[in-house]
Amino acid sequence: MRVIIVGAGEVGFHIAKRLASENKDVVVIDRNPAVLQRILDHMDVQVLEGSGCSPLVLREAGVDKADMLLAVTDSDEINLMACTFAKMLAPGLTKLARIRNDEYTAYAEQLSREIGIGLIINPEVEVVRSIEHMLRAPGAVDISDLAGGRIKLAGTWITEGNPLAGLRLLELRRKAGDMPLIVAAIVRNDKVIVPTGSDEIRQGDLVYFVCEDSQLQPVFSFLGNRPGRKSSVLIIGGGNIGLRLARSLEKKPIHVKLLDKSPERCADLAGELDRTVVLVGDGTDQEVLLEENIGAMDVVVTMTGNEESNILSSLLARKLGTPMAITRLNKIEYMPLVRAIGLEHIVSPRLSAVNSIFKHVRKGGVLSAVAIKDGAEALEALAGPDSSLVGNALKDLSFPKGVLVLCIMRGDSVLIPSGDDVIRSGDRLFILSLTESIPEVERMLTRGREED
């Protein structure tokens, strides 16, 4: 699989890194030699200095031989132009574009028809969706949709005093009884563990589980999280994401305040929002937060474009009594450091863009993919009639190491499988795989019966 990535910023870097780890043929285009050198220092891919919207540069990158073009620069216009010229040079090429401006995304259907953009990624929409998930299930530090939202993949910390700490997974399953809970992965010291029944849950683990959407709250209660109703939210930062989030929360029974230090921006926000209380002030100023009775708010969401300000505002909010702070970060590498200082609920527009794109990069009938840290992915795949998996019991399939079939969706039923369950044509398979095993999983999903 040959992939051309236009843009070597945070999004392009992390997409290239994950594809290179799977031995994909990757070409990264950017005008900035410094970011290209960073790419070369960290991975074995081809780089090309130049503009990704130049037809000459695209031709030099081998666009006519590529399988996919990912336009992920910070400029919507460059991304659109790159896709436009790629359409001229390689009409059958699959194209994905990162577009944030609503004036462009409103014409998604026309862009798909005229330029052939297979998918438009708006990371701001994904971030707002992630925040809404966290508000619904405050015990989750990471939550993603599978099967169109019917299935949830969520992660929660095992904190001090959690009664599940010290239990092996076999014991956990017995304790859960009929509750349809599947432990998908355990993250311990930033390493992803694909668990077996003998693995033990420990204090400090980040445990990922899969369940049906309707069971999310009962499962969180079982795992030691007893979330209360979130009825008041303070948003710090009135940029595009802050405005989009406030608009969304206004539709719910939530009291929303929005704080921004620009009087001019606040005047614009007040004109665009209905029920949100818009306030002028600096979210890093403790006196301002005290004036707004920050300790009485259920949740503070820090959404400015400055990471340091977001971190400081979240820490101040927690210190002053707010039970939950959601922090926006741009640099994905900061996430472990920020969690180490006590900020667990983190969202990243760039990471959201990476995950959204990977849902559409996978082969072999893969319908969606969700990353778990840098070490694993949860794949949702359709078992086609010609797949070599169909007609075989799970215990007879030679999946590579670090691969686990989490559950099977058959029609409207969700099955927690045993080794004796046989895969049928049309089944949706939810598979956890370590990164290094994904190419083999893709091959197994793609390979027809005659190739066995």
Q: Tell me which of 432 and 446 has the higher pLDDT.
A: 432
Contact between 29 and 57 (Cβ < 8 Å): yes
Report residue 388: phi and psi, to 5°: -70, -15
Structure tokens at 377: 């992915």
Q: What is the mean pLDDT of the chain?
A: 88
pLDDT confidence bin for 219, thresholds 50/70/90? confident
Q: Which amino acid is at 349?
A: P
Q: Is the pLDDT of residue 449 over 60?
A: no
Out of 165-174, 197-206, 231-240, 397-406, give the one with best mean pLDDT. 231-240
**What local confidence, expressed as pLDDT, does residue 226 receive?**
62
Q: In what order do the strands lie in the sheet with 94-98?
A: 46-49, 25-30, 2-6, 68-71, 94-98, 117-121
Strands of 215-298, DSSP E: 232-236, 255-260, 277-280
- Dihedral sign computed on CA atoms, order 295, 324, 309, 242: negative
What distances in angstroms separate CA 30 from CA 27, 33, 54, one per listed residue? 10, 7, 11
Residue percentage of the chain with pLDDT more than 70: 97
Q: Give the burial class of 145: count Cβ atoms within 10 A of its Cβ; 0-12 exposed, 13-18 middle, 19 or more buried.
A: middle
List pLDDT tens digits, range 201-211.
999 899 999 88
What pTM does this model have? 0.81
Q: Tokens 């409103």 belong to which residue?
A: 106
**What local confidence, expressed as pLDDT, does residue 450 receive?**
42
Which helix (H) or strand (E) element contains residue 132?
Answer: helix 123-136
d(CA 329, CA 349): 8
Closest by CA position to 382, among listed 412, 424, 415, 421: 424
List pLDDT tens digits, range 325-346.
999 998 877 877 887 888 888 9
Q: Which residues contact 262 (CB under 8 A, 6 or more apart)?
A: 238, 280
Q: What is the mean pLDDT of residues 406-415?
A: 88
List pLDDT tens digits, range 287-302.
999 999 999 999 999 9
Contact between 367 and 381 (Cβ < 8 Å): yes
Q: Is the pLDDT of residue 59 over 60?
A: yes
d(CA 295, CA 288): 12
Contact between 315 and 322 (Cβ < 8 Å): no
Contact between 349 and 237 (Cβ < 8 Å): no
**What local confidence, expressed as pLDDT, does residue 364 receive?**
60
Contact between 97 and 120 (Cβ < 8 Å): yes
Structure tokens at 97: 């574009």
**What local confidence, expressed as pLDDT, does residue 451 receive?**
46
Closest by CA position to 324, among listed 303, 349, 297: 297
